[in-house]
Structure 1
Amino acid sequence: MTPHACDPELPWGVWLRGEHVDRKTVFVDEETGERWPSLRAAFWNGRLRMPDHFGKTPHDLLETMHAVLVATIRRSPTIHEQAADIFQSSTLYLLLFHLWLAREGLVELTEDNREARAVTAEGMAVIHMLLATRPYDVRKQRPSGATIAQLCELGLGPETREERLARVEKAASRWDVAFLRRREGGKPSIILSKRGDGVVPILETVWTLGLGTTERRDRFYEWICHRMDRWTAWGELATRFGSDRLTHHLLEVAAAALVDTDDAMPLIA
């Protein structure tokens, strides 16, 4: 499948035609006659020319792609932070992934080819498609979270800090995973609220961090809001491995983000 001209406001694959075969939908490329069982398969097998893994589209790799593309929209520079948060501290894996996305025309690299600096029109279309086709078993929850428009601007506007944070909290109060400001035990705190998987899926607090002053709490909350695209993944981390694991992970990510401000730090030590 050759690359198509993409509208960045529409999902990748809108040119495909759906046909019903044996009570299943098949996606057909009328130019080539190729047929795919899903949009993700059309993108992975057709557009990227990649093989299946154990006979299936590798959703974990597509989720990693989605994470990198959205992080590129919201933060720059972000190479060391991405390595710590998404790539298990492997800068080699990150470098290969960024170069691959650039080779496929989904991102533009910095002048030194060190990392992705911008998402292309097709990359934006891929973000729309991946978010719309995310299988429930990939994130094990209802698809309730930030929209593409919110990922592009929420918490990043020109308002005062309090106005930005209040807008994030208002939107996040309707999501299944959200960091929110609270007072816990008389201390200014940040909590992570996550909807459970029970018969009645109520919201539960799965992580809490108390800070000494409201100013410290709000500064750290703003840092977390800049990483709104990572909230779902961090919520899963807290649920699967406990609150202490999330605290340690956030410290690792924050330390890596500080390194991103030092241009003298080499990519591969």
Structure 2
Amino acid sequence: MRREHIDHELPWGYWLRAQLVDGKPMLVDDETGERWATLRQAFWCGRLGMPDGFNAPPDAQLELLHAVLALRARRGTIDSREERSDLFEGSWLFRANFLDWLGGVGILTAPPDVYHKAELTPEGWSALAMLHATRPDAVKTRRPSGMTVQDLVSLGLGPDPREERLAEVERVVAGWDAAFLRQVDAGRHSVVLVERGRGPVPTRQTVWALAFAAERERDDFYEWLCVRLDRWHAWSEHASSYNSRELTHKLLVVLASSLQPSGIDRPAMVEALGRAAPP
């Protein structure tokens, strides 16, 4: 079910028609006659040719696909070591096969052997919008609320001075269910992860904190986090589902894999992560 021309500004499947079939709501492709229960099923089974499994597309695989697309939408050129460490459990073969597959089906451009330069095709952008909008409730409850595809593409990026960009991120993410924020407490400069609870009164609580010796070091690390805004929802799960040390370890692994010569004082970040303690 591959279409020649797709409007990249509209979510994938915008051409499907809703219709009752045997009393059940279905999505019908008038060109092929195919019928699907959901957009995600139409994409996973009809477009990508993957098996239906338990009568529903697998959330984990679609979340990985979403993460790969979101990472490219957010950052453009990709650090292959960091992506392999963060998304593919360190497996070069897993990553290569996955990106080859997406290139082969036309979701990513497919320059041979240059995975870090693969970009979203128009259909890839359309698929990202659909996957972002149709996450099931079980996934939505574990991600920062309020993020839009536009936030993903532009929030905190651009030519503005660093402090203006970081402040813009903090302003927008303040209402999310989970967000990294800067904090000063008793003269200590920290980055904290704040989450909204799920009780009768969903108050916000700090579930992870990382202190730095100086404000500049703290802001260097926060900028590193903001560039990776697309990964916040996944990283926050390591604090809420496990414990704060799990998140510290995850960030240390990803940071180490992204080490490159730059103006940022990476050793200071690593040192701070190494001495991180639960809040």
TM-score w.r.t. the length of structure 2 is: 0.88
> Contact 1:72–1:78 at 8 Å: present in 2 too?
no
CA separation of 1:94 and 1:116: change in aligned 2, threshold 3 A: farther
Q: Deviations over 1:135-166 (max 9, x none)?
A: 01124347713210111111111000001001
Question: Displacement, 1:256?
Answer: 0.9
Which residue pairs with 2:211 in the alignment?
210
CA contact (8 A) 2:104 2:110 kept: no
Match of 1:44 in 2: 44
Cα shift readout 1:218-257 (whole Å, capped 9, x = no counterpart): 0100000000011111111110111111011101001111
Deviation (angstroms), 1:78: 2.1
Matched letter for residue 61 of structure 2: L
1:192 aligns with 2:193: yes
Change (3 A) 1:250 1:143: closer
2:181 maps to what in 1? 180
1:112, CA displacement in angstroms? 3.3
**Hey, what does 2:63 align to over in structure 1?**
63
Q: Aligned partners of 1:131, 1:24: CA distance in 2, in Å?
A: 25
What is the aligned residue count? 261
Give 1:185 deviation, angstroms. 4.4
| Structure-1 residue corresponding to 2:18 | 18
Letter in 1 for 2:176: W
Counterpart contact for 2:144–2:178, Cα < 8 Å: no
Q: Which residue of 1 aligns with 2:158?
A: 157
Label 1:172 to 1:99 Cα distance change in 2 as closer, same or farther (>3 A): same
Equivalent position amino acid for 1:79 in 2:
S
How far off its partner does 1:260 sit?
10
Is the contact between residue 98 and residue 116 of structure 1 (CA under 8 Å) also seen in structure 2?
no
Name the CA shift for 1:158/1:241 in 2 (closer, same or farther; >3 Å): same
Partner-residue secondary structure (3-state), 1:119: coil
Structure 1: segments with no counterpart, 5+ residues = 262-269
Shift of residue 109 of structure 1? 3.6
RMSD: 1.9
Aligned partners of 1:83 and 1:89 also within 8 Å: yes
2:124 counterpart SS class: helix
Which residue of the partner structure matches residue 3 of structure 2? 3
CA contact (8 A) 1:188 1:213 kept: yes
Q: Aligned residue for 1:137?
A: 138
Structure 2 residue matching 1:107: 3-state secondary structure? coil
The residue number in structure 2 matching 1:231 is 232
Query: Structure 1: how far apart are the matches of 2:226 and 2:17?
Result: 38
Residue 227 of structure 2 aligns to which amino acid in structure 1?
H
Partner Cα separation in structure 1 for residue 138 and residue 43 of structure 2: 19
In structure 1, how many angstroms separate the alpha carbons of the residues matched to 2:205 and 2:122?
38
Between the aligned partners of 2:112 and 2:157, the Cα distance in structure 1 is 25
TM-score computed with the length of structure 1 as normaliser: 0.91
8 Å Cα contact 2:143/2:234 also seen in 1: no
> Structure 2 vs 1, CA of residues 61 and 116 (structure 1 numbering), >3 Å: closer, same or farther?
farther
The answer as to whether partners of 1:196 and 1:203 remain within 8 angstroms in 2 is yes
Match of residue 32 from structure 1? 32
Residues 41-72 of structure 1: CA deviation (Å, up to 9, x unaligned): 00001000110233421111111011001111
Q: Which runs of 5+ in 2 are unaligned?
A: 263-279
Q: Is the 8 A contact 2:26 2:35 kept in 1?
A: yes
Structure 2 residue identity aligned to 1:91: W
Give the partner amino acid of 2:149.
Answer: I
Q: Percent identity?
A: 47
1:104 matched residue in structure 2: 105
Question: What amino acid is aligned across from residue 40 of structure 1 in structure 2?
Answer: R
In structure 2, the CA distance between the partners of 1:178 and 1:23, relative to structure 1 (3 Å rule), is farther
Please tell me the residue identity of whatever aligns with 1:82.
E
Match of 2:83 in 1: 82
Report the residue type matching 2:62 in the other structure: L
Who is 2:121 aligned against? 120
Q: C-alpha separation between the residues in 1 aligned to 2:22 and 2:141? A: 28
Q: Answer whether contact 1:78 1:260 (CA < 8 A) is retained.
A: no
- The one-letter amino acid paired with 1:159 is D
CA distance in 1, matches of 2:211, 2:253: 18
